[in-house]
Structure 1
Amino acid sequence: MSYERRGGYRRRHRDDYDDRRREVHETPEQKLKGAILKLGEVDAIEELPRLERQIRDHVPINIPNVSEAFRIGVTEQPYKIPYYAALIRLLHDRSEDATDIKGLTLGRQILEDFWKGFQTYLDKLAWRETRLCIHFFAHLVVAKLVSAESMFALLQSFTAVLDEFGVSHGRAKRAALCAGEGLIIGGPSLKDSSPTNVIDIINAIQSFNDTILSSQWLVQPTIKIYSDVVSIENGDELLDSLLKTLRALNDEDFTETSNSFPQPYTSYPEIDPATSPPFDLPSVLVPPEIIELDGLAADSEEEAQVKKEEWPEYFLRLFDNDISPNPNMPAGYAVRSALLDILNIFEVNRKECARLLLEYPKWTPPGTFKPKPGAPNEAEPIVGKDWQLESTIIETILGAFLILPESSHKSIYYIGLITELCKLSPSTVGPAVGKSIRRLYGSLSEGLDVEVARRFAEWFAVHMSNFGFQWVWKEWVPDLALAVQHPRRAFMRRALEFEIRLSYHDRILKTLPEAMQAPDAFTIPEQAPGPDFEYDDPSRPHHDAAQSVLNLFRGRAKADDVISHLDTLKTNLETSEEGHINVDAIVRSIAVQSLLHIGSRSFSHLLNAIERYLPLLRNVASGGVSSAGGSGNAEAKAGILTAAAAFWKYNRQMVGIVFDKLMQYQIVDPTDVVGWTFLNGSTIGQLSELAAPLSLSAFEWDLMRGALDKANGRVMIARRKVTALRKEDDDTRARVKASTNDNSMEVDADKLDETPVVDNPALTTALKAFTSLTREQKAALSRTLEGFVASLAPSATDSNPNPHSRTVITEKAWQNRASWGKDEWNAWETWGWYRQFCRAYSPYLRNYSTTLWTVSFAKFEGSTDPAINLLKKTWNVATGQDA
């Protein structure tokens, strides 16, 4: 007994010792740094004097350590910037323990070291950190710690970027935000110093913004196909909002700045400039963009390096100005800018981001948001404010999520963040989410962009899956009277298809009202997703032939044996069947569907089946089972895609997956998938009777996007491989040359030049592959553009498959959209996907703009057809040929 007690004591003693060994002992400098970063966890105003004393009492003071803490706080906790400025202001007061031998105050020393970090951010073109540091300097200008003249010089160095020749939109936009937001915050002191400079900065941003009106037209979230004018009711473009805010502030001499940003330092005694002159920010130049050239251009049309195209940022508005702030006014712009910074900085931790978003009101001027229920109203609401926090947060998140052509972060981040907010405060965030869903749903009939609608359906389905798929579907039952392809009804089908993927068909069916469950409602499929083996029924033609092939697959027969059997099967069918049937198509369908039937149990079964019978698939794709191979036959590849789509017609998600695997194993090319999608995509699925020829819905767009991304991705990988091999080859040649020079100092120079150069076979192979893949990429883009032109300008083709395509061009037709039917809405959606194609793939389209224009548009020169003109206008904006 005593032994066990002593043993237990020893175990506890050993565990305590191990715990002590694992403890992290912070140095005094680390504790001080942590205290600076934790400023404001309770009450920032009350903590400032205590933190000032803690910094002063730290002896010897490590200025770089303290300055680094300020830089981290400013760039990673930007909502605290006004309070860090106030802390610098307190540290700027003279004190015996706050000066060095040069007589500089502690605040001045920290600020000088802080500037070094800012210069590093600028040299690296770390735009977000640079902009937030400018916020910090702007607050210090108002606090009289930084001179207005040097601040003007800093802001003007960024407006100079806007005048650079050929400046990219992304670079110009970031520079404009640095200059404009610095002016918004520091405006009260800057305008007192020089009203002329204020006007010059605003005009510089305005001049650049005037050059991108056509780009704004292409990315606005609500569209009217006929309109050539940038006119939007429920969205705000980022630079437009910045300019409207600046002009509103300037008209009122920046008096509204104090109501838009906290300024705790204004309550401190003013600094005497005679005894403590303000800090002059050193002059800077914004470094040029880094352009990496890899020299792989095959001709003059192709740029050396494809970079992601940056577009104007339109944020969708969901609520009225009395519910969420108007970003075109100073306070509203300040709120949205701060919330977007939190979203972007804390993308690595959505739970922390959700917490900070709900705590954001403590960092705003009193009265900005309505107090929480039951909380004391400590401040009277400011006129034009008193907004709803949760609605503002959800609107900001969805605005960032729905930016066109794509959001800054993955969709799952925004979706997961909204879920975390609902978990933290379900009673307040839940109603805001519900209102947002209803507002977006209402916008579907008002021209909401098709890509925005697709993401909306994705978010809706995932959000419902996190909360038991509970939604008041009966609210939307009256919309069943709308045209079957109306955007609202299309949204219902798309959202329910996503929900079924995340759950089960029967479960989702039970959540719907009876009116939506009916087959003639065309809202949800009648049966659960699954395979449809055409030859499974003994009463169907060719059942026995399919079973014989299926048995070979089940027995894991060799690919050559299956090919031989298919040859025999083809011969027998040619003998027994009448001549009007396509025997090759039947044999091809039997082979592909039988193989997919074997792989239908799981993804691993599918991959194993495809990999085992790659020779068979390549043989079928070559144009016939009796062929010896080859590069492929367009008709045979289309037949493979048709057979695969027919097998999975009740599960369109699997259609996309199988197509991706067929492209991955190079059974079909991306061009084949694009061509097949335009001609056959709308015929797939239980609701295929709703589609029109040569029209695109979100499903067809997903297939096309997968094909284009595959082609572009292959080129990118090949480019990187060639670049790496070239670098390796250059290094090898340099080492050989250096070694030869070292070992042959007395050899004649002419003989050194005769040193044979050995070709790199790996580089040669990689260059050939790159050339081939580039050709494939160009073909896929060209086929996509040709398909859109044929769909949207049918009058220019021999046939007229969709006569309603042009009805959406005129304003009168749009105003009468309540009477539109299936064909008109199909055409409208196809126009939307054409816009998305042009803006999402604009970097690649610019590479081949001359070739693609010649193939698709040259034949329309001189045409006055409004459809042709709109096609050309959209193309020109996307490729940068229409300012």
Structure 2
Amino acid sequence: MSRRRHSDENDGGQPHKRRRTSEPVEIEDRLESLICRVGEKSTSSLESNLEGLAGVLEADLPNYKNKILRILCSVARLLPEKLTVYTTLVGLLNARNYNFGGEFVEAMIRQLKETLKSNLYSEAVYLIRFLSDLVNCHVIAAPSMLAMFENFVSVTQEEDIPQVRSDWYVYAVLSCLPWVGKELYEKKDVEMDRLLNQIDGYLKRRQKTHVVMLQVWTAEKPHPQEEYLDCLWAQVQKLKKDRWQERHVLRPYIAFDSVLCEALQHNLPPFTPPAHIDDAVYPMPHVVFRIFDYTDAPEGPVMPGSHSVERFVIEENLHCIIKSHWKERKTCAAQLLSYPGKSKIPLNYHIVEVIFGELFQLPAPPHIDVMYTALLIELCKLQPGSLPQVLAQATEMMYMRLDTMNTTCADRLINWFSHHLSNFQFRWSWDDWSDCLTLDFEKPKPKFVKEVLEKCMRLSYHQRIVDIVPPSFSALIPAEPLFQYKYIDENNVSLPGFAVSISVGNAIKSRATNDEILAVLKEVPNPNKDDDDDEGDSFNPLKIDVFLQTLLHLAAKSFSHSFSALAKFHEVLKTLTESDEGKLHILRVVYEAWKNHPQMISVLVDKMIRTQIVDCAAVANWIFSQDMAHDFTRLYVWEILHSTIRKMNKHVQKIQKELEEAKDKLEKQQHKKQKDSGDEEDMERNSEDEDGQLEEQIERLQEKVESAQSEQKNLFLVIFQRFIMMLTEHLVRCETSSMDINTYWYKNCVERLQQIFLMHHVIIQQYMGTLENLLFTAELDHHILAVYQQFCALQL
């Protein structure tokens, strides 16, 4: 950008002058390109490329030292998959220029402090790992690295800190040991043993209540869903037992050992972890996803065991590649498939496992869900022979284990699989899953197939779905998405409101105004009111029924027709739904009319919230009402609820932002007034008027924020209260009739409760005190209370 702008300024000037001033920019760009692309496809070996690049950079150090420092620091943070390539480069530069090596180490430490201060913990891990690998390159002295690790582990002795803080510092140390463990142990074995014993003691005493909430599968077999620190600790212990030998870290610096071992080393400055502050946001714990082991990949290279450190190194590198390239699916897929050392491992199995591990990560995947779908499609295109087979094998295995799969992960699996099928002509060997046809349709397997077909229909059309599945699956094919208009059938002439529905339909067709429609609706009797009751008829279910059924029937052709109809008669709908009962009833009518078209229900509910025909609490109450019991475990119902919560949260954030902006504006004005205090009186009076207006605006916004937050808190209270009521009823019913509480409905309901906590954890944490005092009290049944305790444990 700067280069183009510069040449524009000099158009018509002296050409030689323009060339000279733009040259440094060109050189800087070239340096950045050379550094960022080292290690990529080349005719020369990596070692000769590194040696050549080190020579180029050394020559440019006198003029471009700061730029080179900046680039090397950022690749250490942003391209962790090429970690050892860059540590070798820094090692070679340090061997040629000791002062530069010292300045680089100082710059890295400054950057590490910044990332920790900014809560960028994953980037901080990469920086620490980079520093530790510089020990192998004779840039950093081993004792000073060990001293930094000891300071990190000492965080476990701090008092009154959340466990997630000490977890992260222990993870930061353990995750460096595959790279530097051997070097440290050879030089400082006694100190290393002491450090590992401290970590062992910490891991034995830390609590793991949270694990249940984060597991993809509840079953321990065939692959236990291990907590990430426990798994890494087991891998490090095995590494130590194997004398710190590992075979999957690319170590280009070995080729330069004779040069590097002559270099002078630097000591890290004493590094004290920044003190805990209340608004620090530490990474949440997670479980390590496993779906394959060596028996699943019988041909080709053997898959490393789940407790071998090689498994950690491979997975970590694949995660890094995805993190670096996730915005460009083609680049990302190509980088994954050209993983160095791929001939030694069953790469496709590792890639598929890592991608699903990220997709199923709770509370949320690292990247947007659809990215994983796009990435898998791209991988299938690049490796049409082998990768689709591994993917089909993984899908089959996940289908087989659906009974114990977490409901949130099953949702993501449904969304991924249906989207994937839509890109491959919906081809699948459905007959292989015919076992689900003999089961109760509320069980996970038939439920999964039904939901997948439902989603496929959204991405296609009904007849296509009928054509793609075998006739034996007809019971699981979604109903044809037709409108159910109860006033169309002449057999229903006796229905209350039938005659008025014809008048309403005619009025709508003849473009009647809102007032004219309301006048027609006055003829509708109120079934809730006695004849001698003269009170106003604020809630008349029949009025809502007649009007909305007729309106939606006439607009049933498409989403846009329906949206236009709601917009045109917004005033009528607002009038009919002034009361809470009215809001609840309008949702019932939408459901009754469109129950064979869940997508239409979703978009209409969404539209009615946006246009304030219904509020968020009404939607929550409707979802938990008896009317929805039949669909309570359906995926679309929970998509509606989460979308409703997100809308509420966005509404609060929007008003809070407006308030902050108004406060900032007032502060700036007052600051300016102090600077210009010597000016004339009338200017002062004007600014006082402006201040007064702003203060009034701030007061109004403050009230709006408080009102919105109160509404938000109420929404969560409604949701959790309804969960507690439903689960308590189930538990009491099972106890009185001596039944097992663990039904599929119960598992689904408990996991939906966990899902609410996890997906909206940031907001819910603001209201923990209220929830504890009003709902999740000690008297609550321990089955329900356990979910709340698991949630609390995530941030303790």
- Shared fold (TM-score, shorter chain, > 0.5): yes
Cα 1:611–1:116 change in 2 (3 A) is: same
Q: 1:655 to 1:51 in 2, by over 3 A?
A: same
Aligned to 2:698: 763
Q: 1:177 aligns with which of 160, 171, 184?
A: 171
Separation in structure 1 between the aligned mates of residue 572 and residue 32 of structure 2, nearest angstrom: 66
Report 1:827-842 matches (<5 A).
827-842=746-761
| Matching residue within 202, 211, 233 for 1:243 | 233
Partner residue in 2 for 1:725: 662
What does residue 69 of structure 1 align with? 71
Partner of 2:590: 644
Answering whether residue 708 of structure 2 is matched by residue 773 of structure 1, we say: yes
* Residues 138, 186 of structure 1: 8 Å contact kept: yes
Mapping of residues 419-568 of structure 1, within 5 Å? 419-445=377-403, 447-517=404-474, 521=475, 523-527=476-480, 529-540=481-492, 541=495, 542-568=497-523
* More displaced stretch, 501-510 vs 24-33: 24-33
Q: Structure 1's 586 and 200: CA in aligned 2 closer, same or farther, altered over 3 A?
A: farther
Offset at residue 331 of structure 1 (A): 0.6
Find the aligned partners of 1:75 and 1:806 in 2 and give their Cα distance.
Answer: 56
Task: Pick from 845, 849, 859 the counterpart of residue 768 of structure 2.
Answer: 849
Q: Give me the whole-angstrom Cα distance separating, in 1, the residues matched to 2:734 and 2:175.
A: 52
Deviations 1:355-392 (A, max 9, x none): 100001x2x4xxxx4x3xxxxxxxxxxxxxx4311111
Structure 2 residue aligned with 1:220: 215
Whole-Å Cα distance in 1 between the matches of residues 371 and 794 of structure 2? 35
Letter in 1 for 2:245: T
- Once the two structures are superposed, what CA deviation does each residue of 1:514-573 show, in whole Å capped at 9, x if it has no partner? 2102xxx3x11242x232222233333344421221222233322122112111233899
Change in 2 beyond 3 A, CA 1:63/1:479: same
* AA matched with 1:713: K
**Residue 803 and residue 715 in structure 1: after superposition, are their counterparts in 2 closer, same or farther (change >3 A)?**
farther
Write the distance in 2 (CA, Å) between the matches of 1:709 and 1:464: 28
Contact 1:71 1:114 (C-alpha < 8 Å) held by counterparts: yes
Superposition map of 1:852-871 within 5 A = 852-858=771-777, 861=779, 868-871=781-784
Count of matched residue pairs: 750
CA contact (8 A) 1:180 1:202 kept: no
Please state how far the C-alpha of 1:213 moved relative to its aligned partner.
0.2
The answer to whether structure 1 residue 315 and structure 2 residue 288 are counterparts is: yes
Aligned residue in 1 for 2:363: 405
**Equivalences for 1:144-155 in 2 at 5 Å?**
144-155=138-149
Moved more, 710-719 or 319-328: 319-328
- Equivalent in the alignment of 1:390: 348
Identify if the C-alpha distance between structure 1 residues 174 and 850 changes in structure 2 by more than 3 Å, giving closer, same or farther.
Answer: closer
1:295 corresponds in structure 2 to none
1:601 shift after superposition? 3.1
Residue correspondence of structure 1 range 137-148 to structure 2 within 5 A: 137-148=131-142
Q: 1:661 to 1:221 in 2, by over 3 A?
A: same
Query: What is the aligned counterpart of 1:667 among 594, 613, 624?
Result: 613
Q: Which runs of 5+ in 2 are unaligned?
A: 1-18, 298-302, 532-537, 682-687
Partner in structure 1 of residue 604 of structure 2 = 658
Q: Give the secondary structure class of the aligned counterpart of 2:595.
A: coil
Comparing 462-471 with 761-770, greater Cα deviation is found at 761-770
User: Is contact 1:219–1:311 with CA below 8 Å preserved after alignment?
Assistant: no
Which amino acid is 2:788 matched to?
A: W
Give distance in 2, aligned partners of 1:857 and 1:79: 45
Q: Distance in 1 between matches of 2:760 and 2:696?
A: 33
SS at match of 1:851: helix
Q: Which has the higher helix share?
A: 2
1:5-35 deviations in whole A, cap 9, x for unaligned?
A: xxxxxxxxxxxxxxxx9xx987344323322
Which digits, 9 at most, give the CA deviation of each residue in 1:681-704, with x for residues without a partner?
645xxxx5xx6xxx5342332232
Matches of residues 205-216 of structure 1 in structure 2 within 5 Å? 205=199, 209=203, 210-216=205-211
**In the alignment, does 2:319 pair up with 1:340?**
yes
Q: What are the equivalent positions in structure 2 for 1:219-298 lying under 5 Å apart?
A: 219-223=214-218, 233-256=223-246, 259-270=247-258, 276-287=263-274
C-alpha deviations, 1:684-735, integer Å up to 9, x for none? xxxx5xx6xxx53423322322232232332222222222223333333444
**Aligned partners of 2:539 and 2:581 also within 8 Å:** no
SS at match of 1:262: coil
Contact preservation (8 Å) 1:794, 1:805: no
Match 2:640 to one of 703, 707, 711: 703
Q: CA deviation at 1:871?
A: 0.5
In structure 1, the residue matched to 2:36 is 37
Which residue identity does 1:64 align to in structure 2?
N
Of 86, 89, 93, 1:87 maps to: 89
CA offsets 1:195-248 (integer angstroms, 9 cap, x no match): 344345445555665434011122111127xxxxx9994423322222222222
Structure 2 length as normaliser, TM-score? 0.86
Once residues 31 and 775 of structure 2 are traced to their aligned partners in structure 1, the CA distance between those partners, rounded to angstroms, is 66
Which amino acid in 1 is paired with 2:189? P
Q: Is the 8 A contact 1:67 1:114 kept in 2?
A: no
Query: 1:249 Cα deviation (Å)?
Result: 2.2
Deviation at 1:317, TM superposition (A): 1.0
Kindly report which structure 2 residues correspond to 1:559-578, keeping only aligned pairs within 5 A, or say none: 559-570=514-525
Q: Partners in 1 of 2:389 and 2:372 — Cα distance? A: 18
Q: Secondary structure at the match of 2:491?
A: coil
Identity of aligned residues (%): 22
CA distance in 2, matches of 1:358, 1:805: 55
Indicate yes or no: 2:625 matched with 1:679. Answer: yes
1:730-769 alignment, distance < 5 Å: 730-736=667-673, 739=676, 760-769=695-704
Per-residue deviation, 1:110: 5.3
Is the contact made by 1:804 and 1:827 (CA closer than 8 Å) also made in structure 2?
A: no
Residue correspondence of structure 1 range 591-610 to structure 2 within 5 A? 591-610=547-566
Which among 117, 121, 128 is matched to residue 122 of structure 2? 128
Q: Distance in 1 between matches of 2:514 and 2:457?
A: 36
Q: Give the Å deviation of 1:873.
A: 1.4
1:7 matched to which residue of 2? none
**Contact 1:75–1:132 (Cα < 8 Å) also in 2:** yes
Deviations 1:31-84 (A, max 9, x none): 233222221223423423333343345585522233333234333332222122
TM-superposed CA distance for 1:593, in Å, is 1.9
The answer to whether the Cα contact below 8 Å between 1:660 and 1:707 also exists between their aligned partners in 2 is yes
Q: Which residue pairs with 1:628 in the alignment?
A: none
User: Tell me, what secondary structure is at the counterpart of 1:255?
Assistant: coil
In structure 2, distance between residues paired with 1:476 and 1:570: 52
User: What secondary structure does 2:216 align onto?
Assistant: coil
The answer to whether the Cα contact below 8 Å between 1:457 and 1:491 also exists between their aligned partners in 2 is yes
SS of equivalent to 1:268: helix
Aligned residue identity for 1:263: R
SS of residue in 1 equivalent to 2:490: coil
Q: Describe the superposition over 1:282-304 as per-residue Cα deviations: whole angstroms up to 9, x where unpaired.
A: 23334457767xxxxxxxxxxxx
CA contact (8 A) 1:644 1:655 kept: yes
Q: CA deviation at 1:339?
A: 0.8
**C-alpha distance 196-600 of structure 1, shift in aligned 2 (>3 A):** farther
Query: 2:500 touches 2:523 (CA, 8 Å); kept in 1?
Result: no
The residue aligned with 1:873 is 786
Deviations along 1:418-443, whole A, 9 cap, x unmatched? 11111111112111110110111111
Greater shift, 234-243 or 417-426, is seen at 234-243
Distance 1:191 1:728, change over 3 A: same
Q: 1:169 to 1:411 in 2, by over 3 A?
A: farther
Counterpart secondary structure, 2:73 = helix
Distance (Å, rounded) in 2 between the aligned partners of 1:729 and 1:408: 38
Q: 1:738 to 1:805 in 2, by over 3 A?
A: farther
Cα gap change, 1:320/1:786 in structure 2, threshold over 3 Å: closer, same or farther? same
Whole-angstrom CA distance in 1 between matches of 2:649 and 2:267: 49
